[in-house]
Amino acid sequence: MTFAIRVKPGTRVDLGSIDSSDNGGLTKKSGKERMELLALQLNDLQDTLYAAGQHGVLVVLQGMDTSGKDGTIRRVFRYIDPLGAKSWAFKVPTELELRHDFLWRIHDKVPERGMMTIFNRSHYEDVLVVRVNNLAPVDVWRSRYEHINAFERLLTESNTVVLKFFLHISPEEQRLRLLAREADVEKSWKLSVSDWAQRQSWPAYMEAYEDALSKCSTKQAPWHIVPADRKWFRDLAVAEAIVDALEPLKAGWIESLATLGVERRKELAEYRARGGES
């Protein structure tokens, strides 16, 4: 059973038809138990990924404000060794970044082989917030879907596993989360007037997301739609999709490590044959 909805390349996404409060028929308790196992499995996969150094893994998280991008990172990657993982949050571009092409700051942060990198927002902002808020001419953002597909193809053909997740919440759930933030003195620092102002553009954002998900889901770099009104289900769906994508690669990583082990033992045997300590 897969909980995240993988967008089939070439199909048209209709977000209105996808229930953001889906729980996959699970209880919260059983969902959390499954999540714990997946988090451990992911840790194990990341260890082998790091040691083998054959692939990089790039996880892209997108979603409206309060959709839970930060929380997903904290919970899904809870056991990951910080030595083998990095996470980047992409904010409003700096002046220097704006003087480059939109992918410049992104390409700089993609994972080298052996590493797992998580993007909190990404190059997709350049066809989302930029489109909705008219930050660039139509011709400019419209040409970006093709640039994105070409860029991601370059990554996947260079042994980077690219997995993209849209955390799908309802506008009502967002309203509740913003109000909860306001009521919590320790979380109020996260508030911004623009969170509420941007809600006026909800339909325009959904349209922009539908275009991005429809035009840029490819076999090699698929988009997943994650029902995210329930935090525990969101975490479970993301973790499961990552584990499912990496598990088939593990045998190859183990094989390369075994070959390496044989070479290292041979080198040691030769060292000892030359009189080295044993």
> Interface with ligand ADP by CB under 6 A: which residues?
65, 89-93, 120-121, 125-126, 129-130, 135
Closest residue to ligand ADP in the complex (CB): 125
Give the Å distances, CA to CA, from 252 to 37, 113, 208, 262: 22, 14, 38, 16
Give the Å distances, CA to CA, from 194 to 65, 130, 147, 198, 201: 10, 15, 29, 6, 11
**Cβ of residue 206: shortest distance to ligand ADP, in angstroms?**
15
**Nearer CB in complex with ligand ADP: 141/253:** 141
**Cβ of residue 161: shortest distance to ligand ADP, in angstroms?**
23
Token pair 């349209």 in the structure block, residue: 207
**Cβ of residue 158: shortest distance to ligand ADP, in angstroms?**
23
**Nearer CB in complex with ligand ADP: 126/229:** 126
**Cβ of residue 56: shortest distance to ligand ADP, in angstroms?**
22
Question: Are the C-beta atoms of 57 and 111 separated by less than 8 Å?
Answer: yes
**Nearer CB in complex with ligand ADP: 91/272:** 91
Residue type, 80: I
**Cβ of residue 105: shortest distance to ligand ADP, in angstroms?**
8
Q: Distance from CA of residue 272 to its chain's centroid?
A: 47
Burial per residue of 202-219, b for 16 or more beta-carbon CB atoms within 10 angstroms, e otherwise: eeebbebbbbbbbbbbbe
Question: Are the C-beta atoms of 120 and 85 separated by less than 8 Å?
Answer: no
**Nearer CB in complex with ligand ADP: 189/278:** 189
**Nearer CB in complex with ligand ADP: 84/93:** 93
Q: For the CA atoms of 191, 166, 135, 111, what is the dihedral angle to 10 degrees?
A: 100
